[in-house]
Every structure is written in C-alpha cells, then in structure tokens.
Amino acid sequence: MTKNILLKYACFGAIMAMLGTGCKKLIDDAYTNPNADVEQPIETLLPNMISNLVNSYTANGTNYGTVVDNYYIGRYIQYWCANANGNQYDKMGGATGSSDIMGNMWAAHYYGMGQNLNKVILWGTEQKKWDYVGVAYALRAWGWLSLTDQYGEVVLKEAFNTSRDQFDYDSQAEVYDTVRAVAFRALSYLDMTGDNVSAANLAKGDAYLFNGDVNKWKKFVYGVLARSYNHLSNKSGYQPDSVIKYADLAMSSNEDNAVYTVANETTSATKNYFGPFRANIGSLVQGEFITNLLSGNNTVFGVADPRAYYLIRENFNGTFKGIRPNYGATGTTGLDTADLPRNYWGGQYSSSKSLDPRYLYADDSPWPVMTATEMQFMKAEAAYRKGDKATALIAYTNGISLSMDMMYNYPNNIPAGKAMTATAKANYMANAAVVPTSAANLTLTQIMLQKYIALYCFGVSETWVDMRRFHYTDTDPATGAQVYAGWTPLSAADLYINNNQKLVYRCRPRYNSEYLYNIPALTALGALEVDYHTKECWFSQQ
Amino acid sequence: MRKIAGMLIVLLLSSLLQSFGQTAPVTGTVLAEDGKTPLIGVTVVNATTKKGTQTDASGHYTIAAEKGQQLVFSYIGYGILRLNAGDAAKVVMKPSNGELGEVVVTAMDIKRNARELGYSVQRVSGEEIAATQRENFVNALQGRVAGVTITPTTGQAGSGSSIVLRGFNSLSLSNQPLFVVDGIIVDNQTLNQTSNGGAGIGLVSDMANKNSDYTNRAADINPADIASITVLKGPEATALYGSQASSGAIVITTKRSKGNGIHVSYDNSFRTQKITRFNKVTNAYNSGTDGVYANIFQAGSGTFFGPKYSDTTKLYDNVHNFFRTGFTQSHNLGVDFGVKNSGFRFSASYINQDGVIPNNNYKKLNLRLSNSTKIGKYVEITPSFSIINSVNNKPLRGAGGYLLDLYLWPSDHDIHDWQDSVGGKATLVPNNSPNAELDNPVFSVNRNLSQDKNNRYIATLGININPFPWLSLAGRFGYDTYHTDGYMLYNRDSYNVTAAQKGALENYYLKYWSYNHTITATATKTYKKFNGRLMIGTMWQDNETGMYAVRGTNLTDPMGTDSSNTDPTTRTRLLRNAKGEYNMSINRNIAYFGEAAIGYNDLAFVSFTHRFETTSIMPAASRNYNYPGISASFIPSEVIPGMKESKVFSYWKLRASMASTARLSDPYANQSVFVNNLASGGGYAYGYTNANPNLKPERQKTYEIGTEFRMFDGRINAEVSYYNTLVKDQIAQGFRASYATGFILNTMNAASTRNKGIEAMISTSPIRKKDFGWDLTLNFNKMWNEVLSIPSTLTEYYIADTWVYANARGGLLRGGSTTTITGYHYSRNNKGDILINPLTGLPVIDNTFGVIGDRNPDFTLGINNTLRYKKWSLSFLWDLKVGGDVFDATDMFLTVQGKGIKTADRENARVIKGVLNDGLQNTEKPTENNIVVLPYRQQAYYTNMPEEEFLQKDVNWFRLRDLTISYNFGKWKKISNIGAFATFNDLVLITNYRGADPVSNGNTSANKGVGGFGFDYGNLPAPVSANFGLRVSF
C-alpha cells in the first residue's frame, strides 16, 4: 500500500469520525418530546401541589387531597352525619368493594404531589431555588405524616420508583422517622438565602397559601414536627417538650395560619369543595355531639358558644340540634320537623341549598390547613401531660381565643346580632367551665373538647388522630371521666357489619392503586381482611 | 449531516479514481447461463501467478495477468472454466449438476451466494407478484413465503394490510418488518388514529384504530417495478439492520435497465369485482320486543325481536342491492434505454379502482426513473427517483360504519329511500331526530365522507466502488418523503354525532420525511482453501413524521370538507398545533456494524456480525446498545463421497444462526408529560402516564437451525427451519400499578414472550419437458408462542384497540399463548356444565375476562402451482390455514339485534343444556335444567349470550388466492412479444367459518402488538376479482 492510499484511508476514517460526532448531536436533539411539555417551570408546578393539601383538580385527575376523605372521616368522629339511616360510614365502616372512597390522601401523596414534587426538588436544586426545594420538602413531610396517620403502614422505601410494579409496605415508625428527617431537610433549605431564592418568585407558585413567605413555610414545617411528636402521646418515648418546642416555633397567630384560598372563578375547579356550587355536602348534617358542645347542652362547658352560628346551623326553630349517626332519616331523628337541622348551606333537611352559606361552606371560603389554635392545644395537652398546668392553661386559653378570632375572617351571612364580637368572645371565655380560673382545675377533657370545636370542619384528620389516641372513649386518669365527655360511641349493633363490632382505626389504602395491583403486599399486611379498617395504627398504641 | 455525507461521497469518488486509475489489469464480467445475470463470488485465479480474486456484486473482476496467461474460473455449482486472459472480458458459466448458483440479496443490499447463508431467506420474483394484479403487493406474499402472515384490513379499495413474519414477538410494539428497497429503508407506516390526548401523531379525536382504514405506505411501491423480493425472517439476516428489523425485513430489488437499445413494455388490466360472501342473517322478523311489535330502531341491542313480517309485507334484499360491481383499470409502462455505460429505466403505472362499496375509490399513479451508470473503471452509480400519488375515498367501517348498519337495516324498508324531502337523512321512526337513529348505509357512504390524498417522493442513490479486486465500497443513500392530506366528515344528520354538534369534520395533514444511508466497505481475501470476508459499515437514519390535525363541529356546509367549514370556536387541535407547529415524532439512529466471514473450501462457512446502535428514542443512559450475531453453514454433500455426483440426493446443507437484537418503543414513551392544573393558581401537573425514564430497549434473542437439500437432479428442493425467539424486557405501556410509582398508568420493561416455529419450503418440478412443465411449491408454517411474563400487577394484558365490540379483546395471560382472545363466558360448575338461572332458564354469564379462544392456527400451507404448456401458462396459489379461532363480533352484534342467523329459529322452544344454579351445582347430583325457553317471547335468550358463544373455534380455510392463465402470442411484426392473461383473485373460499370471511382484522395495520386479526366486526370480505389484460413489449 502506498503512502497515498494510507492517506486516503486516514481521510475516510476522519470523515467517519466527523459523521459520528455530528450524528450524536442530532440524536441528542431528537430525544426530547417536542409535542407535550416534559419540563415546566417549577413555579407552575407548585399550585397543583398546594391544592393537594385540600383538594386538587387537574386535567388528569381530580379531588385528591384531604377534603373528600374528610367528608367520610368526619362521620367517624361525628362532626357530621348523613341525613339518612344506616350510612356505611356513619356506622364506622371502611370503604368496600371497588370503591376508592377515603383513598384520596393516598392519591394526593403518591400521584397528586408525587413526581411533581420530586421534579420541583430536582429542578429547584439545579436552578438553586432553595426556597422551592424547601417548600417541596415541607409538603412531602406533611404528606408522609398525613398519609400514615390515615392509612397506617404505607409504601415508603420503594415509593416513586418508576421501574417497580410491586411495592412493599413499611412500618409506621419508619414513616414517622422519615417525616422528621424530611421536615428538617425542608427547614435547612428554607433557611437558605442567596442564589435564586426570592420571595417574589416563590409567591408565583405559592399565591394561594403563603404568598411566598418563607417564614410561614417554616412555621408550617414546625407544625408538622409538633404534630409528629404530639401523635405519639401513648408511647413510652413520648416527648412533651418536643411538642411544646415545635408548637412554639410553629404558627402563633392567625396571620401565620396555613389557609388555602381559592380563586373562585367560573369553573368548579377553582371553588371550595364544600361550597354550594360544587354541591358535594348537601346530604351532610351536623352531629349531635358537636351541636351539644356548641349549644351548651354538653355539660362540660354548659354555655352557648358564639362560634355555633359559624360552624353549624340553627334550625327553623332557631335552635341548634344535631343528629345521631346512623339515625339520620327524618322519621328516626327523634326531632320535630322544625327542629331538624338544616344542611350546611342553610337548606332544609335535604340536599337543597339556600344562598347564604357561612364559614367554610361557601364557594370562596379559604380553607385552613394548619392553624395557630391547633398549635396552642397541642402545647396545652403536652404541658398538661408533663404536669405543667400553668403553661397548659395559658396555651389552652390562647387556643380558644385564636379559634374565636378566626371567625372574624368569615363574616358572610351570619345572622344579625350573632356575629363574633369581642364581647361575645369575652363572655364565653369568662365562664369558669370554659376557662378555669385556676390552672389546677384544667382537665384533659376541656383541652380535647375545645380542640375538637376549634378544628371543627377543616381539622377532621387531626381530630381523628386525637380521638384514636384516646381510643374514642378513654378516660382521664385525673377525673375518671371519659375524655371526650358526652361522645357516645356506636352500639355494637349499629357498627358496620364488616367491623366485627370494633371501632374504626384506619382507612384502607386506595382501591384502584393497591387492591387491584399490589395484592402481595396487602396480603402480607393483612389488609385483605374485611375488618382491616378496625386495626389500630402504631401511633396510638402504647 | 447530509452535507457531510455528500462531501464524503465526492471525496471517496475523486480520491479513489485518481489513485487506482493508472494500473491496467485484465478485467471482465462473469455471467450466468442466461448471459445476463452477473455471478458474484466467482473465484478467478491466474494459473501462472497463482494469484486470485473474486467477482463483485456486478460480476466484475479485475486481475493482474499478461496476455497468454490462463485464467481459471471456478464457482460453486458450476463447472470449472479455463480461458486465456485475452478472451476473458465476458465469461458465461454453465451450471453443473443442475445446481443453481443462486444469489440472494441480503441485509445492506449485499448479494450473497445462498450456499453461504446460515439462515433462511426466501425469494419471490417480481413477475410472480405483479401477475397477481394486487395493487398492494404485500397482499401477494401470503402463501408464497413460509411464515408470512398478511392481514388486510378489509376488502375495500385502498385497504391497508399488516404483515408479520414468523409470528408475534412483542406484546405492545410493532411486529411488522422493515421494508428496504435497493438498500434504502422505505417507510411502511399506517396512519395511527390514536394521538394520546393530542400529544402524539394521530387524530385530534384520538380514536382507537378501528373505525376507519388507512393504506399501509408500502402499498405505494409499484409492483411492476419489483424485480424480486427477498424475505429475511431469521435472526442473523436482520442483525445487521438493527432494532428496526427485529421483526424481519422485506428486501426489494427493483428492475434496472437491461442494457443498450430501447425496450418498451406495456401491460394493462381491467378488473371487475363482486362481493360474494355475506354474513348470514334472518330478515323474517319485524321490530319489537319479546315477540310484540314496536316501532323501534335501537343502536345497542334488541331491535328485531318483534313478530314475523306478514306474508304480504314487501321485503327488500338490501344487502345485495347495496353493493356494486367494482371496476379497476390499470396500466403499466416500462421503457428501457441505454447509452454506452449508462442504462435508464422509466416506468409509469396508473390504477383507478372503484371498489364494490358505492363511493369507494382508490387511484394511484407511480412514476419512476432509474439509472445505472459506470464511471471510469471502478465506480458505478445507480440513482433513482419515484413519484407516487394516490387518492383514497373510503367509507367508515366497524362500529358506526355502513356495513353493520346495512346488515341491520329493516328488511321491509328499501335502503335507497334514505333521503327525506329536503335531502336530509330520512328516519325510520317518524319524528325521530336523525342523530338518534343509526345511519342508513347508503346515507353513510354518501354523506359520511373520508379521504386520504398522498403524495410521495423517493430518491435513492447507490454507489459501488471497487478500487481493488479485494475491496468494494458501497453507499446507499435515500430520501423518502410524503404528505397525506385527509379528512373524516360526519354529516350533521349522522348517528355518529349529536344533534347539537351539527356534524363533525376532522382534517389532518401528515408529513413524513426520512433520510437514510448505509455505507459499507467489504474486503475479501482468499488464502489457500479459505475465503475470508470482512465488512464494516455505518448506517444513519433520520425519520420525521409531523402531523397537523384540526377537528371542529357545527358545519356551515354539511358536505364541506375544508376545515374552514367548522365553527372556529369548536375547533380542537393536537397539542403542538395550537402553537402553529406540527406535532412531531422524530427518530434518529446511527449504527456501526461489522461482519467477518470465513469460508473453507466452499463447504463450510461461519460469519460473525456485531452492531452498535445509538438511538434518539432512548435517554442518554440507555441510548447506546449493541448486539452480536453468528451464523454457520456446512455442506455435507461436498464431503460425503459420491453424494455430489448422486442423481438422487445431490446437495445437503446444514445451517444454524443465532443473534440478538433490540426493539425500540415509539419516540417519547420515556418522557412523562404535564397536563393543565385547573385548580386555583393554574400551572401544570404530571398526567396519568408514567413514561418511564428508565426504559430500556426490548431484548430479543433468536436462534435458528435448518437444513436444505436437493434431490432427483434438482427436481425437489427442500428446506426446513426451526426458530426460537425469546423477547425479554418487553415494554409494557399504559398498564396500571400501585400509585406508588407516582403515576396511574405505567410504562416498564416488564413482559417476556417465547415464540417458536417450524417452516418448511419444498419446491418440486414434477414435469420438466420442453413443451410442458409443472412446478409445485409448498410453504408450510407452524408456530407456538407463549407469554412468559406480564407486569406482575396484571392478570391480563391487552392492547385496548382490540376491544372492538362487546366484551372480548386480544387479552393475554401469563403462561398462555400470545394470540389468545379473552372475553365474557358462561359460568360453569366444576364439571364444566353451564349453569342455568333457575328463575329464567337462561345461562348464568361470568362477566369477567377469561380466555375464550386462541387465534394462532395449527399450521398454514401455501400451495403454489405453475403449469406451462407450449405458449400457455397457468399458475394458481392455494392458501390453507388449519385451526385458529375467530371472534365473530358481527354475528354477535346481529344476534343481539334479532338479525343474526341464530335467531331464525326463535319460535322453537328449547331447554338449554346445563345444570341449575340452585346451590347443588357443584354437588354430586346437580339439578339438570328442564326449564323450557321460548326465545321468541324471551329475547334475553339472545341478547344475554356471552362472547364465548360467538367465538368460532378451529376455523379452517382453503382459499384460491390467485389464479392466472396467460398465453404468449410471441413475436408479431415490430412487436417483440404479445401476451394476454386472465387473473382471478379470491375466487374460491372453502371454510368452516360461519361468518362472511375468516380473514379479518378488527383494527388497522397501525395497531401494535398482536393486533386485531381474528376479530371480525363489520369487516368487508375480500371480493372476488377477475382481471383481464394484455402485455406487449417492443
């Protein structure tokens, strides 16, 4: 071979190499899907994630979040009942058959926030938007806690692996550890400044919760931490000081509250789920227990509560009456027709609407997700358990006061003379049965019942955690009386047949996720048993 | 990129021309007995210097020799030839022993001696294809190649066809082969109606592929241009083409100029078509319920369960009155002319086909110019350019289409009374909204219009450079581009739209653009008894499909087909169209490959291949992959003493090959997309689908073993192959799993299948006389397949498009066959007796999807006869299929409406055989059913029948696909040859199938996976065709 020929071959080789390099770029260029968006600014992903705290609505799936599940869980704790007899959930039944009922928190955590949240972390890190990363972790911490409190054991370690088709469940203890780890990670990112951290930019995605206020997000995370310690009150390792510490760091005024606002535009997607436009809660009526607490019929407080005109609804006689679960049909309530409670939109005892919805029952009502009043009650309980009754009383008093003040934010349609005023509030709180004059007289019952009232409607999940901690009917060792005084559990005969005469302690995981496609894991867990929903969660066990 | 490729060619050309131009060796061409066909791989040795070479793809050789020296030509199957160097410019070699030195075109347009190949290839000549007169040449392959399954969508003009070689390997990706013309990849897409919510290439209406039909684009190829087709089914054969050929390759060689002078040929064909096969129906009963008259016309079920028509009622034979006699004319012109070193071929072909369905028309015009030019001593270029125009006016099919409505039409009503006084749709029930009633079939074909117009251009360039006797370089460069302009119009009175919609119109514009090239360098070396060959190459492919689609309602003009005819506020578009851009699907691949082959003494051959691919479809982490292949062949007849000379058993070859390959998903299947957040704050959230970023290509491993032999002086040639394919890591798309993936629907590498089969091909020449000959070829195929795994979350995996009617679909179960049909079935006790509801006397239906049938046939056999007597010739192809089930959804649809033939004896009371579902059904003594049912008064007998009842087991057919009789008049005056022929298609069908035609496809050829064959729902059977034509050449 001549030198000339060798040169030709060298040329050939060089050209092949050039072709290869050129082609590589063309191949890289062709990878990304040009038709649909495979990447979006993280600012545009946050609104949906936040909506999953309450109720989501996207082109691919709606109603993930807490509010729809709480529509059912609210009956377990007797916040409300169905206006018909024998309702499965009034009877503390779990979801059955192919129903996804009470599976919306599952969907919110894994799918609604799910990979969207992972992408905010990934892209937020790349873009050095540490505030967004922190917010994403904050929501993830909230998600894990809310998820495990509702379902018990959940998929933790294998979650979000897009290449698995079976997922093992992990213990609730591990999920609790993760909640705190993720919460601390959230705090460390929320503490970061500089780079592309910007309140104005965070506000773009956060317009409907904190409007970009990182400090409020931190308080939100502290609130999650406070909850995570508070829920373990039955455990030997219970740390009341941690509850107090994080409750103090969390929201302390109603301005700090995590309240999800809605745009209330023409479409139902932008309206409050409990409002008349969406017409979801027409057949719900107030429970007898809450009504007695607010009307003064419950002997613990024994006075009319000015919040009654907000939280529940007076009947056509102008009085407050509630319904016993499982006995909601007009003929079996034991009430005269005019005493029958109206529904939450002021309609008659049916699904009908009036046009004067109050409080959280209007189309545009901002929905509290986590509030300062809750923090105060957690602190009160922890201090009380610790024996620091003086601190407990202060926190307890603050809790009531904050709860009453929240009413000022919902002035619409309150009958004349019934609106919350400083006087009404002061009168109520001046009652020694409500606020004991001496810290020594404070009882666990008072704390838990005032918390029950303060979290009415929006705080179903947290109240259910509380009631499960007290196994619904536990007694206060100090008084020997039932902590939730006046709360009547269902009789064995009134419980749903699948319950095997036991009270409800958890929701089953979402049917269309787990009961169709993750059977081996459910079998291992015992979740295929018909009374799985009566199995007590780890958090409330001693 | 393209510029660089162009530069490369120029550089190669110029440099090689310069550097090798000075030497002056002896050159020549070695041709076969016919004096035309070049022989490749002929060993040429200078007897003096003992140096040797081999002929190249064009039969050329170049060897250093001085005048007077002797050259020795030797070639397998041919006698040895010794010639003086001065006389060796044109060498014609004669076969010895009747053995043909068959040359086949394999992957990369490489011509190889069949003897070397370690895998099965089968060839079909262009004449044979063209003689069938089928516009879509794909349809001509059924029965002619072992292991090929062709499923045309319908018998309408312009129908698409799907083609599968050796069964189904992938559950959710395409199983169709790659089409290669003269070494260039040519597209065979079928328009896919599914756009995945507007994110893909499909229609805005995002429909399953079942209610219309689209031509598969390989049908654009003019059958008259085809010189031969090589079907590469095996693993090794396609290992070099890579992932896109993992389901095999159809390698087409086109006709080229024959040389100097002008040759003109013309042929035509005139065809009539008639539909002769229909579903059996009963027209005896009026509308009503349980034997009581009611003036109803239901869409879903239960229309014709009223009383019998009175004897005086005038009944119409609507089904026969609807169809027309189809007529087709086609003209083919071929002009061949050559000057010096350059030969040209121009061809033109025109087809105009009026189908048997009124308003159904398919027109196609093909123009092609090809050239082959020698430049200097070492370079040959073969460019070509083709223009193909087609227009297809087609009716709607399947649900909502004309055919089901035709069968269903009340027989006391003439379908030709389809218009009301103002030209709108006449309703059967007075004052009904026209939209509430099914469409009169005549209305349907005249008012629901659909059309595809396609313009396609294919430009190719082949370059062969043979600078040294031992080295050849080949380049194949091709552009393939087309655009399809189509619409689908639902008249405002149609049942398929609501009254409020006031008609619907979808317009779409698809553009396809592709460039691909393959460049190879091949070196050969002979050392003593060893022949070595080394090939390296690269392939580049850029396929881009763009789609623009808009759908709107509220038509200003009920027959206007322009999108401006819709109300602008109702228009919806594909996602990217909203930005004024095409939705795109881009697929780019680059590959480097090599092959090393060693032959020993022309009796043993081994070849190794390896291919390295990079694809744009996969993410960077899994973008690069490679796979090997190995094949070997051995000719025992060369070493067994006396065998080669034996008249009885003269040739025996053993072969084996093994290869892996990969299969790719559609582009973007690994990128999840965002959808709108509608809640406060807007923005986006991920959609349902986990388009998994960790996706990898499917991995396919195949091995094949086979043998070939020749007996009785070549009168019997036979070959048998066994193949076994394992496909792992199959990409399962859109299946549900735990939400813990972060999504609802998932895409994962989570399925595997095994597919194996036996193919046998026997060709015999029982009679070989001067004036009389008879050739008989048999193509046998038997396949087994098994689903080894599907995603663990699922009990059944199915392609949604196959769910064409009621509750039966192409569902697959772990451990089952890949071709099963799942559906609702009878509930049975543990002895298998049907359970009967003790209250009604009717069967209890199990409303869950269980396997009810398997579409895989026991075997198929193509029997191809060619008889020649003097100037007459007769050829006919029988296609036999034994076994395999068909779901006769048409019959089910008609039965639940009281039209199916099952309902004809409704007035006979009966007791359904079974046991009562009374609690004793699983005991030793179940209660025998004795409840009398009179279906006439209890229509639920028919309307509640489960899908299982309509699954026809073990459907056989014996079909005379094509029969051609021709006469050659010979020479007349200046005309060198005149011939006349008559060809009949689908003339005879002998079948135990009770529906119209067991060849059926519920979907179009765009469907993926196993597809919709064996689902007969509103399918028009293939009509019987008679073609007559003349053929002349000058």
B422: burial class by Cβ within 10 Å (0-12, 13-18, 19+)?
A: exposed
Closest chain A residue to the Cα of B574, Cα to Cα = A35
Tens-digit pLDDT profile for residues A384-414: 999 999 999 999 999 999 999 999 999 999 9
Tens-digit pLDDT profile for residues B830-874: 999 999 999 999 999 999 999 999 999 999 999 999 999 999 999
- The CA distance from B388 to the nearest CA of chain A, in Å, is 28
Tens-digit pLDDT profile for residues B496-519: 999 999 999 999 999 999 999 999
- Name B646's Cβ contacts closer than 8 Å, sequence gap at least 6: none
Q: How far apart are CA B388 and CA A202, in angstroms?
A: 57
Q: How far apart are CA A202 and CA B836, in angstroms?
A: 66
Are the Cβ atoms of B743 and A61 closer than 8 angstroms? no
Tens-digit pLDDT profile for residues A128-160: 999 999 999 999 999 999 999 999 999 999 999
Tens-digit pLDDT profile for residues A70-104: 999 999 999 999 999 999 999 999 999 999 999 99
Residue B116 pLDDT class (50, 70, 90 cuts): confident
Residue B58 pLDDT class (50, 70, 90 cuts): confident
Residue B29 pLDDT class (50, 70, 90 cuts): confident
Of A48, A110, A518, the CB nearest to B742: A110
- The CA distance from A211 to the nearest CA of chain B, in Å, is 11
**What's the pLDDT score for residue B93?**
79
Are the Cβ atoms of A45 and B685 closer than 8 angstroms? yes
Torsion-angle region of B133 (φ positive above 0: left; ψ -120 to 50: alpha; else: beta)? left
Q: How far apart are CA B722 and CA B707, in angstroms?
A: 9
Percent of chain A with pLDDT over 70: 96
Q: Is the ipTM of this complex over 0.90?
A: yes
Percent of chain B with pLDDT over 90: 70
* Residue in the block written with tokens 């006979």: B908
**What's the pLDDT score for residue B715?**
87
Are the Cβ atoms of A164 and B741 closer than 8 angstroms? yes
Residue A276 pLDDT class (50, 70, 90 cuts): very high
Of B8, B614, B671, the CB nearest to A38: B671
Closest chain B residue to the Cα of A47, Cα to Cα = B681
**What's the pLDDT score for residue B12?**
43
**What's the pLDDT score for residue B14?**
43
Which chain A residues touch B12 with a CB distance below 8 Å?
12
Residue B902, phi then psi, degrees to nearest 5: -60, -30
Indicate the average pLDDT of chain B.
89
Tens-digit pLDDT profile for residues B879-898: 999 999 999 999 999 999 99
Q: Which of A41-50, A386-395, A500-509, B639-648 has the lowest mean pLDDT?
A: B639-648
Which chain A residues touch B242 with a CB distance below 8 Å?
none
Average pLDDT (B936-945) is 95
Residue B154 pLDDT class (50, 70, 90 cuts): confident
Mutate to test the interface with A, among B20, B674, B692, B789 (most CBs of A within 10 A): B674
**What's the pLDDT score for residue A326?**
92
Does residue A13 carry a pLDDT above 80? Answer: no
Of A8, A20, A35, the CB nearest to B575: A35
Cα separation values, B96 from B33, B77, B78, B93, B262, Å: 11, 6, 5, 9, 34
Are the Cβ atoms of A106 and B739 closer than 8 angstroms? yes
**What's the pLDDT score for residue A20?**
61
Are the Cβ atoms of B667 and A38 closer than 8 angstroms? no
Tens-digit pLDDT profile for residues B976-1020: 889 999 999 999 999 999 999 999 898 999 888 898 999 999 889
Q: Classify strands B797-798 and B811-812 as parallel, antiparallel or unpaired.
A: antiparallel
Write out the H or E segment, with its range, that includes residue A115.
helix A114-126
Are the Cβ atoms of A48 and B684 closer than 8 angstroms? yes
3-class secondary-structure state, position B144? coil
Who has greater pLDDT, A170 or B110?
Answer: A170
Average pLDDT (A530-539) is 97
**Which one-letter amino acid corresponds to residue A103?**
G
Which chain A residues touch B672 with a CB distance below 8 Å?
38, 115
Mutate to test the interface with A, among B542, B741, B745, B748 (most CBs of A within 10 A): B741
Which chain A residues touch B517 with a CB distance below 8 Å?
none
Are the Cβ atoms of B590 and A24 closer than 8 angstroms? yes
Average pLDDT (B84-103) is 67
- Name B930's Cβ contacts closer than 8 Å, sequence gap at least 6: B911
Tens-digit pLDDT profile for residues B546-562: 999 999 999 999 899 99
Does residue A352 carry a pLDDT above 50? Answer: yes
Q: What is the pTM of this model?
A: 0.85
**What's the pLDDT score for residue B713?**
79
- Are B40 and B55 within 8 A, CB to CB? yes
| CA B710 and chain centroid, separation | 31
Does residue B19 carry a pLDDT above 50? Answer: no
Q: At what angle do helices A214-230 and A240-249 cross, to 10 degrees?
A: 160
Of A30, A61, A263, the CB nearest to B680: A263
Are the Cβ atoms of A513 and B684 closer than 8 angstroms? no
Which chain B residues touch A9 with a CB distance below 8 Å?
none
Of B675, B680, B684, the CB nearest to A51: B680
Tens-digit pLDDT profile for residues B961-974: 999 999 999 888 88
Are the Cβ atoms of B677 and A158 closer than 8 angstroms? no
| CA A11 and chain centroid, separation | 69
Residue B561, phi then psi, degrees to nearest 5: -110, 10
Does residue B101 carry a pLDDT above 90? Answer: no
Number of Cβ pairs closer than 8 Å across A and B?
256
Are the Cβ atoms of A12 and B12 closer than 8 angstroms? yes
Cα separation values, B185 from B126, B228, B370, B441, B819, Å: 19, 16, 17, 41, 29
Cα separation values, B468 from A457, B20, B63, B260, B377, Å: 89, 8, 9, 27, 11
- The CA distance from B602 to the nearest CA of chain A, in Å, is 29
3-class secondary-structure state, position B168? coil
Closest CA to B368 of B462, B450, B257, B262: B257
Closest chain A residue to the Cα of B792, Cα to Cα = A165
Torsion-angle region of A498 (φ positive above 0: left; ψ -120 to 50: alpha; else: beta)? alpha
Which chain B residues touch A521 with a CB distance below 8 Å?
738
Of A18, A58, A264, the CB nearest to B675: A58
Are the Cβ atoms of A27 and B748 closer than 8 angstroms? no
Q: How far apart are CA B534 and CA B522, in angstroms?
A: 6
Are the Cβ atoms of B794 and A517 closer than 8 angstroms? yes
Q: Classify strands B845-854 and B859-869 as parallel, antiparallel or unpaired.
A: unpaired
- The CA distance from A85 to the nearest CA of chain B, in Å, is 32
Angle at the Cα of B594 from the Cα atoms of B590 and B600, rounded to 5 degrees: 160
Are the Cβ atoms of B793 and A165 closer than 8 angstroms? yes
Average pLDDT (A150-179) is 96
Are the Cβ atoms of A56 and B575 closer than 8 angstroms? no
Terminal CA-CA length for chain B: 45
Residue A15 pLDDT class (50, 70, 90 cuts): low
Does residue B84 carry a pLDDT above 60? Answer: yes
